[in-house]
Amino acid sequence: MVENPLAVFFHRGELQNKKMYYTYCKACVAEELKRAGATSTTLTQGNQAFKDACTAVGSTRGEKNAWIAHILGGRIPCPYASAEATAEATLQRTGSQSEKRQRTESTPTAAIDASAPPPKKQKTQSTLSNLVFRRNDMPYSPEEKVALEAQALRAIVSSGAPFQLFADPEMKILFGIMRTTAPDALPSPKVIGGRLLNSAAEEVEEKIKKVMKGKLLGICTDGWKGNHRETVNGLCTNVDFKVYLLELINATADKKDGPSQCENFAKMIDRVELKYGCFVIYLTTDANGGSKKGRILLGKQRPWLILPSCWAHQFQLILGDYFKVNDTATYIAEDATGLIAWINNHSRVRMIFDEAQRTITQNAGRILVLAYFVANLTRWTTHFVAFMRLFLMREALEVAVLQNRAAIIAAQVGAAVSTDAARLKEDAEKYCALIRDRNFWDGLETVLGDLEPICLGTNINQKDSARPDQVLLTIAGIFLRFAEHPELEVKAAMLKRIEKRWLDCDQPVFLLALILNPFEKCSCFGPNANLNQLKCRNMLLVLYRRIKSRPDNPDTSEEKAEKDKELSKPFMQYLAGTGHFADLNDWEEIEVSLGGNTDPILAWEALADSRHLAELANFAISILKIVVNQAGCERTFSRTKIEQADHRNRLGLDKMDKRTKVRADICADHERQGLIKPRQGRKNHKSVGALLAVARYRDLLEDQEDEDPNERGRALVSSTDGWRTEMVKWVADSKAAEVVERAEAVEKAKWKAQRETLGLDSDSGLEEEDTPRLPKTPRWKPITLATLFGLSEKPLKRKPSARVLEEEERLMEALAEMEALAKIEARADADEDARMDDGAIKIDSDDEYR
């Protein structure tokens, strides 16, 4: 075997295995011996110095590749190798590679032995870089693109962003960072505002149809001015105390008189019933001239409808009534508004007052600087909130004026000269004197005490879940509050105006709602209310027959009479606590079974499965679910003002309608999924317990929702002139309402005189000749709040008429017959339980469970 030429550059050592020796680089060993001081005569393998040098250098495997690696090195070659060794190692490394390459290329195919097995193909790791996409470069599948487009629409609608959001270059760059193909997959503004919005709106419509189908419900409508100065009417419904927008209508060309409004209301009801397959039993509007007259005419045409006014708006009008009958309160409110505006409009003056707040609160352990609120005409309770905030700052304002009066005047005047300086100084001195005026603060405290119950009632009545019984109790609460007012003139005027608003509404709906509240019944009424069982039963039958008098009611006369019995008999038992209600006389047990919940709807739903109580329970639920406010429409207006902002004023009514519906659906999804924080109860009112006379309803504010956090009103009362303008509007609205009422009274008197001339009974009703006639029942005579809630000084002593005595006699006979039948049924049930079935085996009770 020919020895490799590189072997001459290495010493051979001990045998490593059967074929290979340990070798040591001669150049490295010589360098180590030189470092140790050895002479050339000692360079023999037997002496100890050589062995030590070899150990210090280290061995190399005795084969070619190891020698080449040692001499040439991977990164650092052997520093002591000779030039010959380096040349030989280089030659062998390059020669072996080229020889292998030449041998592969020069070997002819014919020279390969056909009988020899084919050479094994060397396996190499394949690369996927050219076959797959990087994560950021992954294209979207068709399904992913559809999902991306749908989510893009939801993001735009939910955030209130414009349709052009994803067309912005910076937005595309942002999505490109997350995924390079995302900008190409983002939908264009035309696609978002067209196909995607239409598809999402259709899905929401289908959801609303499923919710409304086959239900008894109500609608509300109100109008406002859009950015294009067109009149827009919003149409909403309330299903199980949840508001849904049904339609936005361009009503610019519509007339606002009573007959035209009546026609529009009728068309709205017909469209809703036809499109959604529901039954509209009530319509709520505000009480302005055209709407009120339209509701009156619609009630004559369709007597089965309940047509209440918005009681949240009525309480706002009561606030206007208070300022109209109380001149002192008007002046104090005007001064308070001017003071707030003066501080807000002069930043240097405000800084002095803020420093006073900071000093006072710092002494209390927490630095707190409060802002100055401004009343907003579109927020019905902000007058109270603004004045209350000012009253809370009284101490800081007085301290600032006492210590820094000259600085306040100097900050107000500033660099002004001559006439302007004199005017500014006069204003500053005026408001400084107002702050030091104790009579102003005492008067403001009195005004706040009067405003708070009105605002509390407004907050309660603008809830989406405000039931008629709750509304009646808030009316009674504000009535009783002003019945104790120390100023006799204010007391008399306010009681008269509140009574007038109560007498103008559909009283049986509210009274029955309170009576059908099993946790209240008639306990809230005073001793002179005269609401005996017979009168309550007649009131119930009148309202029941009225609602059931729809032309499309398929019941025959016999079926209607049978349902009247199914309604009146359990109702009498309900009032007396007998029959099926004998075991439910203690409603506290039901309250415990409902987890402490005093919701009357839950109580009636628990009784609706009973065959004997189903008719009464279902009717009670439909009455208690009536919502007499337009808060849903008001929130829709606020949202559309954001959607149709100044920079988006070309947004059409159709797209605005669809965006509003889709956004409401998205918000509902967020609430169900817990993605948004639930709203907490209001904390505006600190003395709720003293505002309402009925203790059970003192916590009505705790479950109500706040307005949309994005809502921003624009009708701010930020000056004394603004307050005076508002007062003028309130007075004008009041006069307009009085004109309408006088016109109605004149029309009513004329029509009554015509009937008397024709020999007709003037008390037979005020319906027109073509009005569908209701079943004959005693007419309802309005009852005043003073009578209902015990303010009358003397009990009513009226001799009952013969008809009343006859009806009471029939009622007593019916009750006696009902009790006798109940005893017979109970005896029959006992006999049936005692009789054994065929094949039954009698088992002693002691052995039954053994």
Cα separation, 510 vs 473, whole angstroms = 9
Cα separation, 264 vs 19, whole angstroms = 111
| CA nearest neighbour of 167 among 193, 146, 140, 143 | 193
* DSSP bridge partners of 220: 236, 284
Residues belonging to the chain: 850
The per-residue pLDDT for 797 is: 44
Q: Of 514-528, 730-744, 758-772, which one has max mean pLDDT?
A: 514-528
Cα separation, 451 vs 443, whole angstroms = 12
Q: How many CA atoms lie within 13 A of 696 on its CB side?
A: 16
Dihedral Cα 184, 185, 190, 195, nearest 10 deg: 160
Cα separation, 469 vs 623, whole angstroms = 10
Cα separation, 672 vs 680, whole angstroms = 16
Q: Of 183-197, 210-224, 526-540, 643-657, which one has max mean pLDDT?
A: 210-224
> Does the pLDDT at position 739 exceed 70?
no
Residue 295 · residue 306 · CB < 8 Å: no
Cα→Cα distances 193→371, 592, 662, Å: 40, 52, 12
Cα separation, 120 vs 637, whole angstroms = 81
> Does the pLDDT at position 675 exceed 60?
yes
Question: Which amino acid is located at 374 in the chain?
Answer: V
User: What pairing do the DSSP bridges indicate for beta strands 10-15 and 21-25?
Assistant: antiparallel
> Does the pLDDT at position 708 exceed 90?
no
DSSP code of 309?
B
Considering only 7-11, 73-77, 92-96, 842-846, which range has the smallest mean pLDDT? Answer: 842-846
> Does the pLDDT at position 821 exceed 80?
no
- 306 pLDDT band, cuts 50/70/90, is very high
DSSP code of 114?
T
Mean pLDDT (the chain) is 77
Q: What is the mean pLDDT of residues 340-345?
A: 89
Residue 642 · residue 160 · CB < 8 Å: yes
More confident residue, 843 or 801: 801
* Residue tagged 């005569």 (tokens): 41
| CA nearest neighbour of 111 among 122, 103, 120 | 103
Q: What is the mean pLDDT of residues 227-239?
A: 86
Q: For 120-167, how does the pLDDT look when each residue is reduced to its tens digit (9 = 90+)?
A: 656 655 554 554 455 566 677 888 888 888 888 888 888 778 777 777
Residue 377 · residue 370 · CB < 8 Å: no
> Does the pLDDT at position 685 exceed 60?
no
> Does the pLDDT at position 689 exceed 50?
no
> Does the pLDDT at position 42 exceed 60?
no
* Residue tagged 């939908």 (tokens): 187
Cα→Cα distances 203→131, 145, 196, 209, 660, Å: 41, 19, 11, 10, 13
Residue 464 · residue 241 · CB < 8 Å: yes
More confident residue, 2 or 723: 2
Q: Of 126-130, 224-228, 233-237, which one has max mean pLDDT?
A: 233-237
Q: What is the mean pLDDT of residues 260-280?
A: 93
Considering only 599-603, 640-644, 830-834, which range has the smallest mean pLDDT? Answer: 830-834
> Does the pLDDT at position 268 exceed 90?
yes
> Does the pLDDT at position 69 exceed 80?
yes
DSSP labels, 37-53: T--GGG--TTSHHHHHH
What is the CATH number assigned to the segment(s) 218-310+628-673?
A: 3.30.420.10
Q: For 416-466, how does the pLDDT look when each residue is reduced to its tens digit (9 = 90+)?
A: 778 888 888 888 899 999 999 999 999 999 999 898 888 888 888 888 889
C-beta contacts of 643-648 below 8 A and 24+ residues apart: 643/160, 644/226, 644/227, 645/227, 646/227, 647/162, 648/162
Residue 649 · residue 230 · CB < 8 Å: no
Burial code (b: 16+ CB inside 10 Å, e: under 16) for 348-360 equals ebbebbbebbeeb
Q: For 460-495, how does the pLDDT look when each residue is reduced to its tens digit (9 = 90+)?
A: 888 888 999 999 999 998 998 898 899 999 999 999
Predicted TM-score (pTM) of this structure:
0.68
Question: Which amino acid is located at 367 in the chain?
Answer: I
The per-residue pLDDT for 384 is: 87
Q: Of 140-154, 231-245, 568-582, 801-815, which one has max mean pLDDT?
A: 231-245
21 φ, ψ (degrees, to nearest 5): -105, 160
| CA nearest neighbour of 681 among 829, 416, 362, 460 | 460
> Does the pLDDT at position 65 exceed 70?
yes
| CA nearest neighbour of 508 among 779, 764, 325 | 779
> Does the pLDDT at position 278 exceed 60?
yes
481 φ, ψ (degrees, to nearest 5): -65, -45
> Does the pLDDT at position 248 exceed 60?
yes
Alpha-helix runs per DSSP H in 625-759 = 631-643, 653-673, 720-757
Q: What percent of the chain has pLDDT over 90?
A: 20
Tokens at 83, concatenated: 């030039």
The per-residue pLDDT for 679 is: 64
Q: What is the mean pLDDT of residues 749-766?
A: 55
More confident residue, 96 or 231: 231
H/E element holding 470? helix 468-483
The per-residue pLDDT for 753 is: 65
The per-residue pLDDT for 96 is: 60
> Does the pLDDT at position 534 exceed 50?
yes
More confident residue, 803 or 511: 511
The per-residue pLDDT for 272 is: 94
Residue 447 · residue 329 · CB < 8 Å: yes
| CA nearest neighbour of 318 among 810, 730, 823, 801 | 730
The per-residue pLDDT for 107 is: 47
Residue 533 · residue 779 · CB < 8 Å: no
More confident residue, 332 or 114: 332
The per-residue pLDDT for 815 is: 58
- Taking the alpha carbons at both ends of the chain, their separation in whole angstroms is 105
Cα separation, 427 vs 345, whole angstroms = 12
Q: What is the mean pLDDT of residues 783-806?
A: 60
Determine how many CB atoms are found less than 10 A away from the CB of residue 615.
21
Cα→Cα distances 160→187, 271, 595, 640, Å: 17, 29, 40, 10
The per-residue pLDDT for 603 is: 85
User: What pairing do the DSSP bridges indicate for beta strands 242-250 and 231-239?
Assistant: antiparallel
The per-residue pLDDT for 545 is: 92
The per-residue pLDDT for 263 is: 93
Cα separation, 139 vs 145, whole angstroms = 9
- 785 pLDDT band, cuts 50/70/90, is confident
Q: How many CA atoms lie within 13 A of 314 on its CB side?
A: 27
Cα separation, 197 vs 191, whole angstroms = 8
Q: For 610-641, how does the pLDDT look when each residue is reduced to its tens digit (9 = 90+)?
A: 888 899 999 999 999 999 998 888 888 887 77
The per-residue pLDDT for 9 is: 87
Residue 657 · residue 248 · CB < 8 Å: yes
Cα separation, 669 vs 657, whole angstroms = 19
Question: What is the three-class DSSP state of 233?
Answer: strand
Q: What is the mean pLDDT of residues 11-25?
A: 81
The per-residue pLDDT for 192 is: 86
* DSSP bridge partners of 375: 717
Q: For 377-422, how does the pLDDT look when each residue is reduced to its tens digit (9 = 90+)?
A: 666 678 888 899 999 999 999 999 999 899 988 888 887 778 888 8
> Does the pLDDT at position 44 exceed 60?
no
The set of residues, in sequence order, having a beta carbon less than 8 Å from that of 18 and lying 6+ positions away, is: none
